[in-house]
Chains A and B, each alone.
Chain A
Amino acid sequence: MAIEPKELTPRERMKIPRQPMPEQKPEIRRNNFDEVPLGYDEETAITEANRCLQCRIPHCIDGCPVNIDIPAFLKLVTRGEFAKAAQKIKETNVLPSICGRVCPQENQCENVCVLTKKYTPVAVGRLERFVADYERSHNLVVDPVIPPQTGCRVAVIGSGPAGLTVASEMAKRGHKVVVYEALHQPGGVLFYGIPRFRLPGDVIKSELAYLEKMGVEIHVNTVIGKLASPQELMDEMGFDAIFLGTGAGLPRFPGVEGENFNGVYSANEYLTRLNLMRADNFPHSATPVYCGKRVAVFGAGNTAMDSARTSIRMGPEDVTVYYRRTREEAPARNEELEHAMQEGVNFEWLTAPVKFIGDDNYFVKKAVLQRMELGAPDESGRRRPLPIEGSEFEVDVNTVVFALGFGVNPLIIEATPGLETNKWGIVKASGETGMTSVDGVFAGGDIITGGATVILAMGQAKIAARGIHNWLIDKKGLDLPKEEAPVPASKAKKEKKEKK
């Protein structure tokens, strides 16, 4: 249903206000696990897309870690060609309904939108989500075209954002891909970590189904590193290259007294119990969780917000987030912080745990905390929090969740002799090809960063996919042209203009 686009002048376009996203009201959504944003309708989507000025030099494309042709898909939206818009995105990103929901667009495409300076940026993320949802709910998903097969076999370890991206990129190039996942459900952090009120399981499942239609095989319950080493996959199971995308799933504990009391969780455990294992539905779902009357979450990243907002939905009396720096330094997206506040999560800034006190049954009952102040900047450039002498105080707590960041799980590293890591155990991989210190073994995502966002993992996965492809061409003598890194859209358009 192509609509003739309204021919608007740039001035008219700039006058259109950014279209708000309808959401479940906080007092309602804090009692359910349904998705918080309700999505644009068709009319709103067209209005919002019409705000795009179709810049000659589209910085938004460069701002996107996977370089989606944003102006092109927005133009299709203005014409009402929503499914085509979704297909446009899928040329570069096979997980649009996921990225439209969880990408920090405000730091990426939307941050460099030309409208950002004087007005507000085009809501690229909301529109990405809209077109992907539209395509799915109207059964307009077009089956992918299976390219001629090269005969190469690639094993992908881990089925999170990085692994799934590499898998799709390999399948697009005609290589056979097998994805190995240790848990019983593919999706990695998308499933066990991100709550379903932010990213519903059905959305992930439909993106997974699309990957399987591309010819990607996904094997769950398969712990590579224990069942086979990467070397064995190559030597004995006929794989030509390996991609390690096992993420950064190793939880950090603060190392304070009492952190092993019952009721004290890593965010990974807490969220896995509630998201993947559906402990909210206990006993009909057999996995329990202990969410007491007073929940304390430590940390202020997205995982901390996920933990706090999930807790709210379990109905305790109080959920408080404690962070040793201030809101300015909080790593969580602003949207997440605001959602948490709207839902009734309390925040105590400049506060750190000293120790925990337990009851006779070994359950945590009190947290001893202390106030902090910000000193000189540390190596991360953020001001270092310093304890204020004599500021200790106690609060009652029944459940404690630590969301203090993650380390890289050493399981796969141990099983890969010769794999170089830095002093934090983060795998070293080439920035151009994604190749690690082991021939034929590539890596991307949190395993090479130590913990970042879904979309950055996907960006690195795209680099690694190109690296694997070029490496396979050499190794197997494939009669295919080698691929070069894409030229930034801004530069390409400039060059084109200069040629003219």
Chain B
Amino acid sequence: MHKIVYKEELAPKTVMFKVEAPWIAKKIRPGQFVIVRLDETGERIPLSISGWDEKEGTLRLIIQAVGYTSNKLIDLEVGDSIRDVVGPLGRQTHLTEGGTAVVIGGGYGTGAVIPSALEQKAKGRRVVGIVGARSKNLVLLEDDLRAACDEVFITTDDGSYGRKGLVTDALADIMAHEDVGAVLAVGPVPMMRAVSELTRPKNIPTMVSLNAIMVDGTGMCGACRVTVGGKIKFACYDGPDFDGHLVDYNELTMRQRTYKPQEAEAMKLYESEIAAKTVKA
């Protein structure tokens, strides 16, 4: 059991937890992830890590409620526990050395790039951050990212905050003005794809973190297989970071939709559970 010691609502339906997981907090590196299972009948879902505190023995998880399990997770309060937290899984992020490192977070992916930004900065490298969101209230962890970067640009689709536009608009500007040596992009697939397309002609090494469907997270089942450079890779074991220029994004998008009808069915169950609770109360 992993106790939740801190909870903060970062945006509507998006929560940050600090959970106790001392052994993982001691070993985890930027880019690695965990798999959590809420309770005895829960599913195993992968979650990226936006930070950790080795002394406190905690991990910082950011959860955006999109389905049954994530909705149930964000309903938890300080003092509640998550049944299983397994990790660290996957490999740590490796960014090519030299020049500026640009880290890009799309929506709730922002959390996942912070550990890498901190690591690059600690190496004495110039780090520029870009956060993209639909609108102002969905911009997460701006202060944390600013603390981890030399400069941060914010873009919103509706222009309600920062620059109106997409992360690629900001990236194009940065690329025009300075020597970008590596890019890390974490967020929705269309965003990671667009970033990769922008950096491809200039051959800028670009890493993307793939949020494939997973079960065990240790390379045992192959649920998370992705095609990278024409070869099958397991996102949990070989990734989650891959060369953005080689990823088959179409396949990833389609595979992420495997359980759409089941997800809808589970959401109905969630809603009926909530309704039952409300009636009781």
> What residues of chain A have their CB less than 8 Å away from a CB belonging to chain B?
182-184, 220-223, 226-228, 249-251, 253, 260, 262-263, 265-266, 268-269, 272-273, 277-278, 281-288, 290, 361-362, 409-411
A221 in contact with B222 (CB, 8 Å): no
Residue contact B44 to A287, C-beta cutoff 8 Å: yes
Q: How far is the CA of A284 from the CA of B88 in the complex (A)?
A: 28
Within the assembled complex, what's the spacing in Å between the Cα atoms of A460 and B27? Answer: 32
Check if B180 is an interface residue, CB within 8 A of chain A: no
Give bound CA distance, A284 to B43, whole Å. 10
A241 to B220, CA, bound (A): 25
Number of contact residues on B: which range applies?
Answer: 35 or more
Whether the pair B262, A184 counts as a contact (CB closer than 8 A) is no
The answer to whether B262 and A283 touch across the interface, beta carbons within 8 angstroms, is: yes
A227 touches B88 (CB 8 A): yes
How far apart are the CA atoms of A447 and B231 in the complex, in Å? 25
Chain B interface mostly helix, strand, loop or mixed? Answer: mixed
Q: Please determine whether B222 and A266 come into contact, CB atoms closer than 8 angstroms.
A: yes
Task: Report the tally of A-B residue pairs with Cβ distances under 8 A.
Answer: 116
Min CB gap A222→B, angstroms: 8
Question: Which one of B68, B221, B227 has the greatest number of beta carbons of chain A within 10 Å?
Answer: B221
Closest 7 CB pairs of A and B: A362-B254, A269-B221, A288-B262, A286-B43, A249-B220, A287-B43, A266-B222
Shortest beta-carbon distance from A261 to chain B in Å? 8
From A226, A253, A290, A362, give the contact of B88 (CB < 8 A): A226
Q: Whole-angstrom distance between the alpha carbons of A287 and B216 in the complex?
A: 12
In the assembled complex, B247 has its CB within 8 A of some CB on chain A: no
Chain A residues within 8 Å of B265, by CB: 282-283
Interface segment out of the listed B78-86, B95-103, B169-177: B78-86
Are B220 and A251 in contact (CB-based, < 8 A)? yes
- Hey, which chain B residues are within 8 Å of A287, CB to CB? 43-44, 215
If A182-B216, A260-B255 touch, does A266 touch B43 (CB 8 Å cutoff)? no
A262 touches B269 (CB 8 A): no
Residues of A within 8 A of B216 (CB): 182-183, 272
Knowing A250-B220, A253-B232, A290-B259 are in contact, say whether A269-B87 is a contact too (CB < 8 A). no
Contact of B219 with A272 in the complex, beta carbons under 8 Å: no
A79–B87 CA distance with the chains assembled, in angstroms: 52
Q: Is the CB of B232 within 8 A of A221?
A: no
Smallest CB-CB separation from B26: which chain A residue? A227
- Known contacts A260-B251, A287-B44, A288-B259: does B85 contact A277 (CB below 8 Å)? no
Q: Which residue of A lies closest to B250 (CB)?
A: A362
Q: B47 to chain A: which residues have CB within 8 Å?
A: none
Binary CB contact string for chain B from 242 to 281 against chain A (1 if under 8 A, 0 otherwise): 0000000001001101110011011001000000000000
- Whole-angstrom CA separation of A268 from B84 in the bound complex: 21
Find chain A residues with CB under 8 A from B60 CB.
none
In the complex, A223 Cα to B44 Cα: how many Å?
15
Alpha-carbon distance A266/B216, docked complex (angstroms): 13
When chains A and B are docked, how far (Å) is the Cα of A290 from the Cα of B213?
13
- Give bound CA distance, A272 to B43, whole Å: 11
Chain A residue contacts of B89, Cβ below 8 A = 223, 226
- B225, CB-defined interface residue at 8 Å: yes
How far does the Cβ of A307 sit from chain B's closest Cβ, in whole Å?
13
Docked CA distance A263–B237 (Å): 21
Asked whether A277 and B88 contact (CB < 8 A) given A262-B255, A283-B269, A409-B218, the answer is no
**Cα(A251)–Cα(B215), bound, Å:** 13
Q: Give every chain B residue within 8 A of A286 (Cβ-Cβ).
A: 38, 41-43, 68-69, 266
Q: With an 8 A cutoff between CB atoms, is B198 at the interface?
A: no
In the complex, residue of chain A having the shortest beta-carbon distance to the beta carbon of B223 = A269
6 contacts between A and B (CB under 8 A): A182-B218, A250-B219, A277-B44, A282-B265, A286-B41, A362-B257
Interface centre among A220, A223, A253 (most CB of B within 10 A): A223
> How far, in whole Å, are A439 and B237 apart by their CA atoms in the complex?
27
Contacts of A273 in B (CB 8 A): 215
Instruction: Find out whether the CB atom of A260 lies under 8 angstroms from the CB atom of B225.
Output: yes
Q: Which residues of B contact A409 (CB under 8 A)?
A: 218-220
Indicate whether B207 reaches chain A with its CB closer than 8 angstroms. no
B220 and A227 contacting across the interface, CB-CB below 8 Å? no
Task: With A182-B218, A272-B215, A286-B266 as known contacts, state yes or no: A361 contacts B44, CB within 8 Å.
Answer: no
Interface 1/0 per residue, B62-94 and A, CB below 8 Å:
000000110000000000000111111100000
Interface centre among A183, A226, A251 (most CB of B within 10 A): A226
Q: Are B41 and A411 in contact (CB under 8 A)?
A: no
Question: In the complex, what distance in Å separates the CA atom of A199 from the CA atom of B218?
Answer: 24
Is B163 in the interface zone, CB < 8 Å from A?
A: no
**A458 vs chain B, min Cβ distance (A):** 21
CA distance A272 to B266 in the complex (A): 19
The answer to whether B258 and A262 touch across the interface, beta carbons within 8 angstroms, is: yes
If A269-B222, A362-B257 are given as contacts, then 7 extra A-B residue pairs at C-beta distance below 8 Å, sorted by A number, are A182-B86, A226-B32, A227-B24, A249-B219, A281-B41, A283-B262, A362-B254
Nearest residue in B to A268 (C-beta to C-beta)? B221
- Among B42, B43, B86, B218, point to the contact of A411 (Cβ < 8 A): B218
Docked pose: A265 CA to B266 CA in angstroms: 22
Given known contacts A226-B27, A272-B221, A283-B262, A262 and B37 CB-to-CB distance under 8 angstroms = no
Cβ–Cβ contact A227 & B219, under 8 A: no
Q: How far is the CA of A191 from the CA of B89 in the complex (A)?
A: 22
How close is B112's CB to chain A, nearest CB, in angstroms? 18
